[in-house]
Structure 1
């Protein structure tokens, strides 16, 4: 059974919202307006499909975005290089342990390493974090600090991974990446003119 990672579609936002708000204490709840803001502004917003069903989603922002998360702000304050921030990843409970999370992280890293030298995220520490910390450690993340999140009383382990491919890509292409579909920005692809029928 293959896993397909692709850009989210607008009509799927209600399903994404339900996935998020059923994920438990490891993910902050969302409302429809905030999710819509993510849809409109996130640099990376992709879903996983398995057997034709929505199996999860991942949302990420580049360090130059106006994202207002306190954890994103922590990274902006503490890091001196550009970074790509994974705001949230959710895998449907029935799909956990089946490779969806690893497929998401491989896809997000492939996107990020063309544009950013560092990949960042956080793990909430107050609700049984060992599995999440082990997962991220196996992907090469390391803790670079902790953040006590205001207004939600949650302590987060702030994780970072250096992206070794970034320097070669940057030295070779600068900011002018080749014009191939899999390199395109999500918002650029959404704005691209659609071919008309002939």
Structure 2
């Protein structure tokens, strides 16, 4: 019954797409091209497995990313540096079983070494109380609301201070130790793999 969180694998994208588009009105639908764009550009794109099955995923971007989300733009206009959770999806049969908490613990562990704040939104038009309570229990607070252009969805814009960030920045600057649990941005890993000489 354990939950494992790891980087998404390319062959899993079809399953991730199906999971996203079965999530209901609390998550915007995706098409294969948009999901592929996430795979190619997202700094953080990880899945949760439970009992060997895909149980959820989370996609995130640093504030320097050229991300085209109107909610990301809302945060960018107001806050100089943050890590943005674009979406988290948990399979309906796995909700309430700790998958969402495992993904949030993992993304927070990643973000607190790199950003002073963690940002996300909750859609308010479709019974938002469970999602707001979930985020409130993680220490998020509302910093405003945004009506998303093009879709007309009203969102509660949430942020959480990363209390470890200042110490990490003052101690290590931009040179985090090479430790397995620290991880690297996905696009950096992909770039290194492309540069690796043939046969190594």
CA distance in 2, matches of 1:50, 1:197: 35
Q: Report the Cα distance in structure 2 between the residues aligned to 1:62 and 1:192, rounded to whole angstroms.
A: 19
The alpha carbon displacement at 1:78 in A equals 1.4
Equivalent residues in 2 for 1:36-55, closer than 5 Å: 36-55=36-55
Structure 1 distance, partners of 2:28, 2:54, is 20
Q: CA deviation at 1:9?
A: 0.3
Match of 1:26 in 2: 26
Secondary structure of residue in 2 paired with 1:175:
coil
Q: CA deviation at 1:195?
A: 11
Give the TM-score normalised by the residue count of structure 1.
Answer: 0.96
Cα RMSD of the aligned pairs, angstroms, is: 1.6
Match of 2:62 in 1: 62
Cα distance in 2, alignment partners of residues 150 and 132 from structure 1: 22
- Structure 1 residues without counterparts, runs of 5 or longer: none
Partner of 2:108: 109
The offset of 1:97, in angstroms, is 0.2
1:188 offset after TM fit, Å? 2.6
Find the counterpart in structure 1 of residue 143 from structure 2. 144
Structure 2 unaligned residues grouped into runs of 5+: none
Taking the aligned partners of 2:189 and 2:149, their CA distance within structure 1 comes to: 36
2:186 corresponds to 1:186: yes
Instruction: Number of aligned residue pairs: give it.
Output: 197
**Which residue number corresponds to residue 17 of structure 2?**
17
Q: Distance in 1 between matches of 2:132 and 2:199?
A: 49
Q: Deviation of residue 187 (structure 1)?
A: 2.5
Cα distance in structure 1, aligned partners of 2:78 and 2:192: 36
Task: Calculate the TM-score normalised by the size of structure 2.
Answer: 0.95
